[in-house]
Chains A and B, each alone.
Chain A
Amino acid sequence: MPRNPSPAVLPAPRLGPPPPPRVPVPLRWTLPNGLRVVAAPMHRVPQVVVRLAIRAGSVFDPPEHPGAASFVGSLMTEGTASFSAEALNARLDLLGAALHASVGHDFAEVEGVFLSETLAEGIALLAEVVARPTFPADETERVRAESLDALVARLDEPANVAEDRVALETFGAGHPYGLPAFGTEEGIAGVPVETLRRFHAEHYLPGGSFLIAAGDFDADELRGLLADAFAGWTGEARTAVYPPLREVPAEAGRDVVVPWVDAAQSEIRFGGIGLDRRAPGWVPAAVANYILGGSTITGRLGANLREDKGWTYGARSTFTPGLAGGGWIAETAVDVEVTADALGEMRAEMRRMSTEPVPADELRRAKDALVLSLPRAFETPARVASRLGTVEAYGLPADYWETHPARVEAVTAEDVLRVSRVHFDPARLVAVVVGAGAGE
């Protein structure tokens, strides 16, 4: 169906100056028990997100029980001194409130998402599950069985196999980051409930922990609620001692192939050693990564593998920071027939990043994208809590996000080349392929 006459051609609009980034400036205080609080009121929707982070990650797993930390996290909401699991769940569900624990390598986090009209009771329940869980035998055994089934089900998915394997290849079995935080079958199957109780008593302590609240609340009211809810909780959590990271993965420069029968695609991962979130190189590295694979379509990896070749739905890369440094990962999934070609193209893009200076225009675009997208990064209570959590977890300066644009702006093409040589040189990275091997 022709459209005649053809519509007019309108000139592209000339844009005015961008709005100055507005970053929430939170309130900070510390409870008498040492719990640090960061509070960012925002009233657009009647929701409050509260995140309590505790130094109780898998790094503290007893060596014979990998997964114990994660198991403790799963049991937080399965019964407390004042509530049976059944009573607690009924109460949370009636309030429309959600409490979820997630345990990573460094921290255990309990997140509460509350309607603002139920905040007071929500905070009280959050404090109750964190400070006074009872690990009832019946619920413990149910969660143990569910966790063991979940470990098996997880390995049905080639992407999960690739994720676990690249971590192992990057960090090695001797580093907590080399193992999944959720542990192993043996670790979870055999851990006695007494060990879980002891883990909780030793690690779930307010000193060293922090709580972020973002959303629709009055800061003075929150101050009172937190003081009451956490009054009886005392103690100082230990800091973890991590083994040193390798310089490069043991199999750097090589392909590790995990065969997968009848794979529709090959899952490809490149893994390498990243850098400390607090390091001065972090921001240049973030800019460099943005150019290589920060955006799944317009990054160099996505532009090549997806937009130019049509081999994949997307390709991306990211730094994965942790308290002990961290990693870097590039990922895609491609047609099995082009597995070897895709590995070659990815290595070529990484090599180009680590040998040629990035053109000025591409650098400009990356900086603008990173700085001008800040309002979106702080749009919702959940996102604000996440960004402020980063500042607390790594002990970054309180004005970190306010001063972030200036740090991005200062990055030069030489900076990008320097960090790319360290982090994107294919000789310093291990490749994991789950699916058809590169030689097939």
Chain B
Amino acid sequence: MLTLKPLRIPSRTHVLANGLRVIAHEDPSSPLVTVHLMYHVGSKDEAPGRTGLAHLLEHLMFEGSEHAPKGDFDDLLERVGGTNNGSTWLDRTNYYETVPTHAVELALWLERDRMAHFLPVLDAEMLETQRGVVINERRQSYENRPYGMADERLHQMLFAPEHPYSWPTIGYVPDLEAVTLDDARTFYSTYYTAGNAVLVVAGDVTAERAFELAAHYFGDLPRGPVIPRVSLDAAAVPAAPAIRRETMPDEVSFPRAYLGWAVAPYGSREWVALDVLAYLLGDGESSRLQRALVREGRLAQEVDTYLYPTERCGVFGVVATSRTGVAVETLEDTVRRVLDEVAAGGVTEDEVTGAIRRVRADQVAEMAMLEERADSLAYAATVLGSAEKLEELMDAYATVTPEEVSRAAAAWLGAERCATLMVVPAGDAEVRDAA
């Protein structure tokens, strides 16, 4: 077993009477404070036909509230040297500000205002402008990017259309165009409540002061309605992909193989083993897939592996781009062969040790930023139930064994569970269709 000093993000949690969970993380090493508000709502909570609503609402939330009208939010924070942002994903939406210590109350006041006094300013003009911005974001970040539509398609293949992980967080354009003011109002009223949020105050402020300020700025707000949750059945880990195999033409020069699997959810012991496996396969020049596909095999220009830390089930992916003249099917066969070898038990102690250290290096790099520490705490509290679960999760890596990694590959990454999407140069696909 690898002996490493455990990584810690020390924190204390206090729950207000309205259900708002407040997490304080003290760190006086820089004169900075991060205020991070995470709502337990993401694209998985959207109704079919209204995909993209969670993310569109996040955009609207930056357009002002009753006492901090349009422009004030960014303006006030910028004047104190602060920064702010927000993001939407499958399971959660977050808003955060990082400010010099003296401005912590400004950040809390602004978040209070948009939790308590947002609906009166939400109007049709605001919705139209941000609808345009989001459709442009979709074009810029997905449609106008080579391979930009692959991830969206892979999710449609992995999950049946009714599964809430089947649609993209950015949403479909016709759905975005159909969103009404009422949709936005109802979504906000349902999910943007004290009872559905986690507030992290991290940095150069004591826990006592953080709890005091949280009570002052959020204690009087209502808990909010009982949240209609996506049923566990509807969002279960599918036993097999909805669509196993597909070829997608794109304006690209090289074919790229996307292999995806729906796997164990974030927080489970198996998810940790799969995370070690993702590093062992694809992170580092000596990792299995780098050697088999790039360095020794000379089949691919690059290969990457990833594992989503998602709530209902994880998503494991392998992405490899062909070198000139290499058929994309060869990449798929090679990935399959490597996964079979790993599942059959050929993993060494050194490989696992290295993978765990590389996970640790990435965790340490993230922890260097206050914003990332606050995010990790908020995410653990939101999707795992408490901030303390984060420590258990980080500690679990040190005890992962080669046998566990092999078992995880065998249990979750079998060929029968795999969705395979081949993105090919548009010209090649036409030739194939004609043949």
Question: Could you list which residues of chain A lie within 8 angstroms of chain B, going by C-beta atoms?
Answer: 1-3, 6-10, 12-13, 15-20, 22, 42, 44-47, 77, 85-86, 89-90, 92-98, 113, 115, 117-118, 142, 145-146, 148-150, 152-153, 155-158, 262-265, 295, 297-298, 303, 306-313, 333-335, 364-365, 368-369, 371-376, 378-382
| Min CB–CB distance B189 → chain A (angstroms) | 4
Also in contact, A146 and B301, with CB within 8 A (given A10-B112, A379-B368):
yes
The answer to whether B222 and A16 touch across the interface, beta carbons within 8 angstroms, is no
Which one of B44-52, B127-135, B307-315 is at the A interface?
A: B127-135
Pairs across A and B, CB under 8 Å, 24 listed:
A7-B117, A9-B67, A9-B117, A13-B105, A16-B102, A19-B101, A85-B285, A93-B354, A96-B361, A117-B5, A142-B295, A146-B302, A152-B253, A297-B62, A306-B133, A307-B71, A310-B136, A311-B132, A312-B136, A364-B79, A369-B78, A375-B81, A379-B369, A382-B365
Contacts of B67 in A (CB 8 A): 9, 12
Cβ proximity bits B323-354 to A, threshold 8 Å, 1 near / 0 not: 11000000000000000000000000010011
Contacts of B234 in A (CB 8 A): none
Contacts of A146 in B (CB 8 A): 294, 301-302, 323
Q: Tell me if B247 is interfacial: C-beta within 8 Å of chain A.
A: no
Complexed CA–CA distance, A424 and B145 (Å): 30
- Closest-by-CB residue of B relative to A97 is B361
Complexed CA–CA distance, A97 and B66 (Å): 50
Question: Could you list which residues of chain B lie within 8 angstroms of chain A, going by C-beta atoms?
Answer: 4-5, 27, 29-32, 62, 66-68, 70-71, 74-75, 78-83, 98, 100-103, 105-106, 108-109, 112, 116-117, 119, 128-133, 136-137, 139-141, 143-146, 186, 189-190, 204, 216-217, 220-222, 225, 251-254, 284-287, 294-295, 298, 301-302, 321, 323-324, 350, 353-354, 356-361, 364-365, 367-370
Contacts of B5 in A (CB 8 A): 46, 117
Contact of A18 among B102, B128, B369, B370 (CB under 8 A): B102
| Min CB–CB distance B281 → chain A (angstroms) | 12
Complexed CA–CA distance, A106 and B403 (Å): 49
Also in contact, A93 and B30, with CB within 8 A (given A115-B360, A310-B130, A313-B136):
no
The answer to whether A265 and B71 touch across the interface, beta carbons within 8 angstroms, is no
| Min CB–CB distance A311 → chain B (angstroms) | 7
- Closest-by-CB residue of B relative to A77 is B285
Also in contact, A89 and B365, with CB within 8 A (given A18-B81, A18-B100):
no
Contacts of B368 in A (CB 8 A): 44-45, 47, 379-382
Contacts of B324 in A (CB 8 A): 145, 148-149, 152
The answer to whether B116 and A264 touch across the interface, beta carbons within 8 angstroms, is no
Contacts of B286 in A (CB 8 A): 86, 89-90, 92-93
- Could you list 6 further interchain pairs (A-B, Cβ under 8 angstroms) beyond the known A13-B106, A94-B350? A19-B101, A145-B298, A155-B253, A333-B136, A368-B78, A380-B368
Also in contact, A375 and B129, with CB within 8 A (given A7-B220, A47-B364):
no
Complexed CA–CA distance, A64 and B102 (Å): 57
Contacts of B189 in A (CB 8 A): 1-3
The answer to whether B140 and A333 touch across the interface, beta carbons within 8 angstroms, is yes
| Min CB–CB distance B188 → chain A (angstroms) | 9
Contacts of A90 in B (CB 8 A): 286
The answer to whether B116 and A7 touch across the interface, beta carbons within 8 angstroms, is yes
Shortest 7 CB-CB distances between A and B: which pairs? A372-B81, A96-B357, A310-B132, A19-B31, A13-B105, A93-B284, A89-B285
| Min CB–CB distance A146 → chain B (angstroms) | 5
The answer to whether A10 and B31 touch across the interface, beta carbons within 8 angstroms, is no
Also in contact, A15 and B103, with CB within 8 A (given A157-B145, A158-B144, A313-B137):
yes
Contact of B74 among A157, A262, A298, A312 (CB under 8 A): A298
The answer to whether A265 and B140 touch across the interface, beta carbons within 8 angstroms, is yes
Contacts of B284 in A (CB 8 A): 89, 92-93
The answer to whether B105 and A297 touch across the interface, beta carbons within 8 angstroms, is no
- Closest-by-CB residue of B relative to A21 is B31
Also in contact, A15 and B102, with CB within 8 A (given A86-B286, A298-B78):
yes
Contacts of B359 in A (CB 8 A): 96
Contacts of B79 in A (CB 8 A): 364-365, 368-369
| Min CB–CB distance B97 → chain A (angstroms) | 11
The answer to whether B253 and A156 touch across the interface, beta carbons within 8 angstroms, is yes
Contacts of B294 in A (CB 8 A): 146
Contacts of B145 in A (CB 8 A): 157
The answer to whether B360 and A96 touch across the interface, beta carbons within 8 angstroms, is yes
- Closest-by-CB residue of B relative to A91 is B286
- Closest-by-CB residue of A relative to B105 is A13
| Min CB–CB distance B67 → chain A (angstroms) | 6
Complexed CA–CA distance, A66 and B283 (Å): 30
Complexed CA–CA distance, A117 and B353 (Å): 14
Contacts of B204 in A (CB 8 A): 19
Complexed CA–CA distance, A378 and B286 (Å): 33
The answer to whether A47 and B361 touch across the interface, beta carbons within 8 angstroms, is yes
Question: Which of A17, A22, A96, A264 has most B Cβ within 10 Å?
Answer: A96
Complexed CA–CA distance, A374 and B80 (Å): 11
Complexed CA–CA distance, A195 and B50 (Å): 59
Contacts of A375 in B (CB 8 A): 30-32, 81, 100
- Closest-by-CB residue of B relative to A312 is B136
Contacts of A158 in B (CB 8 A): 144
Contacts of A16 in B (CB 8 A): 102
The answer to whether B140 and A113 touch across the interface, beta carbons within 8 angstroms, is no
Also in contact, A12 and B109, with CB within 8 A (given A7-B220, A89-B284, A150-B301):
yes
Contacts of B367 in A (CB 8 A): 45
Complexed CA–CA distance, A297 and B74 (Å): 8
Question: Which of B75, B112, B189, B220 has most A Cβ within 10 Å?
Answer: B75
| Min CB–CB distance A44 → chain B (angstroms) | 5
Contacts of A9 in B (CB 8 A): 66-67, 117
Contacts of B128 in A (CB 8 A): 310
Question: Which of B112, B130, B132 has most A Cβ within 10 Å?
Answer: B132
